C-alpha cells in the first residue's frame, strides 16, 4: 500500500513484473480522496462537491465500479474536458489500485497506510539510534535482532496467559455482534453449535436452517479460521469465531489467507482457499509459503516508550550463535509421548541471545540478568517441591495409582524436556547419557497396567530427570545457574520456569494429599520469611502459573491466620488465669490488713481486668477458620512471644505460695 503517485505505481509494477505470485498494490484511500478533491476544486470550481460525492461512492461501491466510473468520466468531461482527461489518466487505468471492490486480500478493513506510517515512527523513535543514518544492512540487523524478538515475546505472553488479546475496530464490529447473541437467543433462533473433530460446526446467524459453517480448532486449542464469507473475504475474525470464544473460552488466532488472483473480482468459494499459518515463535517455517501481503496480527504490542541503547554484537556472540544453530538441529522434532505429540516449536531456535533477548525492553543488561535470575529462582522452587514430594515412597505410589498412563507419559516427557532446556539444547541431550524410555512402547498397548509396576517406573524416571535437573542447576562447582542466566534469553528462561511449574502441577493433581495438610509455620521468625517468599513467588509468576498454585497459596495463608488466632486464644486463657490468681492474692492481702487493724482501700485500688470476650474461642471471628483449642499445660509450638521462664512460672506455680 502506498499513496496514489503514478511514479510509485510504475516502479512497483516494474520490480514485481517477474514475480511468481500475483502482485496486489493498493492505494491509501486517504491520499486518493485528498488528491481527487484538490483536482476537482481546480477544474470544477463550485461543482466540485457533487463530483467528489459521486467519486467517493464509486470508491466504496460493493459492485463492479467500472460502468459507474465510465459514466462519471463522460458526464464531467462535458463540464470540463481537462478534468475528464485527468480522470482517464489517473483513475480509470488504475481502478484496481483504489476501488474497494477489487481488494480481495486479507486486509482486515485497513484501507489507509496510517499503520505503516505509525510503524515507521515507532521504528525511528524506539529502535533506531537518534541522529544517525544507518546503512540498509544495519537496519536489517536491527529488525532481525531486536524487533522480531520483541514481537515473539509479545505473542509468547498472550499464549502463556500473562497478557490478554486485543481487537481493532474492524474486529470489534464482529465481536459486538457475537456478544449481542445470548444462549437464549441462539436457542430461540435454532442456531446450533456442535463440537466435531478438529473444530466446531455452527449454523448461520441469519439463516440457520440453510447454511452451516466450519470453525477450525488447532491442537494448541486456538480458533484459527471459519468458512463464512466474512472470513474468506477479509481474513479477519468473524462473529462465529467470537461467539465460540465467548462461550467456550478458546482464544482466536487468525490464519493468514493467501490472496486471490489479480483478475478475480469476487472471493473464491471456501473450499478453494489455501491458507498458511503464521507463527512468530517458529523461526524455521518456510518464508516462501507465507505471502507478503497477508496481515500478520499481533495480539498485543508493548512497544518501548523511549530510546534504549543498542548493544553491538561481538565476534564471540556471533560464534556462539552460529555454533548453537549448527548443533540445534530442527526444533520441530516431536518429543515422545503422552496424550498428544509435543514439539519444541515454542522454544526459540537460538536461545543464546544475550543482552538482546528482549527486544522491546528498556532494561539494562544488569536488569535483564536480574529478571532472568528471578525466573530461575522461581523455577528452582518448583524443582525443589517436585524432588521433595516424590522422595517419599508413599507419594510415588499415590501418583502411580491415581494418574493415567497418558498423564504419566506427559510427566516423564516434560521432566526430560527440563533437562534439555537446562543445557540450552532444544534438539537433544549431548552432555548427558540418559536411560532409554522403555515404557514408551506401552502407549500403543492396553490403557491400564495390571500390577502398576510400569506406572511406578514412569514416576521414578520423571523424578530422576527432575532430580538431575535440580543437581545440575544447584551445582556450585559448575556454576550452572549463573551461566544459565548469562547465556540464555529471557524468553527461554521464562519458558523453563513455566514448564517447571507445569510438571509440579502434574504432581499436585495426581497427589492431592500434598496440598491437603500444609505445614503451619511458627508465628516467630519463620512467618515473615514465608510471607515474603509467597510474595516473591507471586511476583515472579510462580504462584500465578496455575489454579492449583493459587489454591495452595490460600491454604498457606489460612494456616498462618489459624496460627495467629491460636496465639490470641492461648493469651486469653493465660489472661483469665492471671486475673483469677491476682484476685485471690488481693483477697489474702485484704484479710491480712484487717487482722492487723489496717483500713483496707482495696475497693479504691485499680483492678486489673481482662476482657475475656475478645479471646473467646466461640466468637464469630475465630469460628470462621476453627483453630484447634490450645491447652494451658501444653502451649502451641507456634508461640515465640513470651519468655519461656515466664510461661513455665505461670503454668506450674501458684503465685500466692510465694508471699
| Best CA proximity match to 354, nearest among 396, 308, 317, 328 | 317
pLDDT in tens, 152-195: 888 777 777 777 777 777 788 888 888 888 888 888 888 888 88
In terms of pLDDT, which residue wins out, 589 or 632? Answer: 589
Average pLDDT, the chain: 69
Residue 615 has φ and ψ, to the nearest 5°, of: -115, 20
Q: Please tell me what DSSP assigns to residue 298.
A: P
pLDDT in tens, 37-66: 999 999 988 889 999 999 999 998 888 889
Cell triple for 295: 496481515
CA distance linking residue 420 with residue 397, whole number of Å: 27
User: Average of pLDDT values for 273-285?
Assistant: 33
pLDDT at 239 over 80: yes
- Tell me the CA distances in angstroms from 362 to 208, 307, 368, 504, one per residue in order: 52, 8, 9, 33
| pLDDT value, residue 556 | 63
Decide if 222 contacts 253 (C-beta within 8 A). yes
Cell triple for 172: 470489534
CA distance linking residue 7 with residue 560, whole number of Å: 74
Decide if 655 contacts 581 (C-beta within 8 A). yes
CA distance linking residue 118 with residue 107, whole number of Å: 17
pLDDT at 36 over 80: yes
pLDDT tier, 550 (very low <50, low <70, confident <90, very high otherwise): low
Per-residue DSSP letters for 486-553? HHS-HHHHHHHHHHHHHHHHHHHHH-THHHHSPPPPPSSTHHHHHHHHHHHHHHTTSGGG-HHHHHHH
The region of weakest confidence among 255-269, 301-315, 319-333 is 319-333
pLDDT in tens, 465-496: 888 888 888 877 767 778 778 777 888 888 88
User: Average of pLDDT values for 110-135?
Assistant: 84
Other C-beta atoms within 10 Å of 357: how many? 24
Which pTM was predicted?
Answer: 0.38
pLDDT at 355 over 50: no
Amino acid at each position: 500500500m502506498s499513496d496514489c503517485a503514478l511514479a510509485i505505481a510504475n516502479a512497483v509494477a516494474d520490480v514485481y513484473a517477474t514475480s511468481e505470485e500475483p502482485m496486489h498494490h493498493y492505494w491509501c484511500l486517504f491520499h486518493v480522496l485528498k488528491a481527487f478533491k484538490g483536482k476537482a476544486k481546480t477544474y470544477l470550481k463550485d461543482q466540485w462537491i457533487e463530483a467528489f460525492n459521486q467519486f467517493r461512492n464509486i470508491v466504496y461501491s460493493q459492485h463492479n465500479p467500472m460502468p459507474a466510473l465510465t459514466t462519471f468520466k463522460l458526464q464531467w468531461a462535458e463540464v470540463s474536458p481537462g478534468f475528464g482527461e485527468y480522470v482517464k489518466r489517473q483513475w480509470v487505468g488504475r481502478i484496481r489500485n483504489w476501488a474497494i471492490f477489487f481488494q480481495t486480500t486479507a486486509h482486515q478493513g485497513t484501507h489507509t497506510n496510517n499503520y505503516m506510517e505509525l510503524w515507521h515512527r515507532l521504528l525511528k523513535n524506539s529502535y533506531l539510534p537518534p541522529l544517525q543514518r544507518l546503512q540498509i544492512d544495519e537496519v536489517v540487523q536491527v529488525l532481525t535482532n531486536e524487533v522480531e524478538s520483541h514481537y515473539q515475546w509479545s505473542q509468547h505472553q498472550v499464549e502463556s496467559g500473562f497478557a490478554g488479546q486485543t481487537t481493532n475496530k474492524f474486529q470489534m464490529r464482529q465481536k459486538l455482534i457475537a456478544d449481542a447473541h445470548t444462549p437464549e437467543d441462539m436457542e430461540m433462533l435454532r442456531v446450533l453449535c456442535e463440537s466435531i473433530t478438529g473444530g466446531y460446526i455452527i449454523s448461520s446467524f441469519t439463516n440457520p436452517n440453510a447454511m452451516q459453517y466450519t470453525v477450525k480448532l488447532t491442537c494448541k486449542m486456538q480458533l484459527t479460521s471459519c468458512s463464512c464469507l466474512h472470513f474468506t473475504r477479509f481474513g479477519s475474525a468473524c462473529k462465529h469465531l467470537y461467539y465460540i470464544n465467548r462461550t467456550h473460552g478458546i482464544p482466536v488466532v487468525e490464519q493468514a489467507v493467501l490472496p486471490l488472483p489479480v483478475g478475480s473480482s469476487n472471493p473464491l468459494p471456501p473450499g478453494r482457499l489455501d491458507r498458511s499459518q503464521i507463527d512468530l515463535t517458529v523461526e524455521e517455517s518456510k518464508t516462501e509459503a507465507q505471502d507478503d501481503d497477508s496481515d500478520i496480527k499481533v495480539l498485543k504490542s508493548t512497544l518501548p516508550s523511549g530510546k534504549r541503547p543498542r548493544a553491538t554484537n561481538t565476534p564471540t556472540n556471533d560464534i556462539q550463535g552460529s555454533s548453537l544453530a549448527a548443533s540445534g538441529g530442527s526444533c520441530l522434532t516431536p518429543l515422545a509421548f503422552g496424550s498428544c505429540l509435543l514439539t519444541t516449536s515454542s522454544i526459540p531456535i537460538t536461545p543464546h541471545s544475550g543482552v538482546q533477548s528482549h527486544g522491546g525492553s528498556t532494561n539494562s543488561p544488569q536488569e535483564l540478568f536480574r529478571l532472568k535470575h528471578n525466573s530461575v529462582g522461581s523455577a528452582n522452587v518448583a524443582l525443589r517441591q517436585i524432588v521433595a514430594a516424590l522422595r517419599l515412597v508413599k507419594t510415588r505410589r499415590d501418583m502411580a495409582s491415581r494418574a493415567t498412563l497418558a498423564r504419566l507419559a506427559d510427566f516423564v516427557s516434560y521432566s526430560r524436556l527440563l533437562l534439555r532446556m537446562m543445557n540450552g539444547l532444544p534438539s537433544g541431550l549431548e552432555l548427558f547419557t540418559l536411560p532409554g524410555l522403555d515404557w514408551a512402547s506401552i502407549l500403543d498397548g492396553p490403557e491400564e497396567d495390571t500390577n502398576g509396576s510400569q506406572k511406578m517406573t514412569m514416576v521414578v524416571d520423571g523424578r530422576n530427570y527432575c532430580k538431575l535437573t535440580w543437581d545440575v542447576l544447584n551445582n556450585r562447582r559448575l556454576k550452572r545457574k549463573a551461566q544459565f542466566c548469562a547465556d540464555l534469553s529471557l524468553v527461554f528462561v521464562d519458558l523453563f520456569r513455566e514448564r517447571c511449574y507445569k510438571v509440579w502441577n502434574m504432581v499436585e493433581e495426581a497427589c492431592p494429599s500434598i496440598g491437603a495438610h500444609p505445614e503451619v509455620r511458627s508465628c516467630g521468625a519463620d512467618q515473615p520469611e514465608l510471607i515474603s517468599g509467597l510474595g516473591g513467588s507471586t511476583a515472579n509468576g510462580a504462584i500465578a502459573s496455575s489454579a492449583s498454585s493459587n489454591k495452595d497459596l490460600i491454604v498457606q495463608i489460612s494456616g498462618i491466620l489459624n496460627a495467629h488466632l491460636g496465639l490470641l486464644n492461648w493469651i486469653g486463657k493465660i489472661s483469665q488465669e492471671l486475673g483469677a490468681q491476682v484476685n485471690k492474692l488481693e483477697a489474702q492481702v485484704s484479710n491480712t490488713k484487717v487482722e492487723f487493724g489496717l483500713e483496707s482501700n482495696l475497693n479504691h485500688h485499680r483492678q486489673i481486668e481482662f476482657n475475656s470476650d475478645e479471646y473467646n474461642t466461640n466468637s464469630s471471628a475465630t469460628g470462621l477458620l476453627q483453630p484447634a483449642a490450645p491447652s494451658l499445660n501444653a502451649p502451641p509450638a507456634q508461640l515465640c512471644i513470651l519468655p519461656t521462664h515466664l510461661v513455665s512460672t505461670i503454668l506450674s506455680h501458684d503465685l500466692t505460695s510465694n508471699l
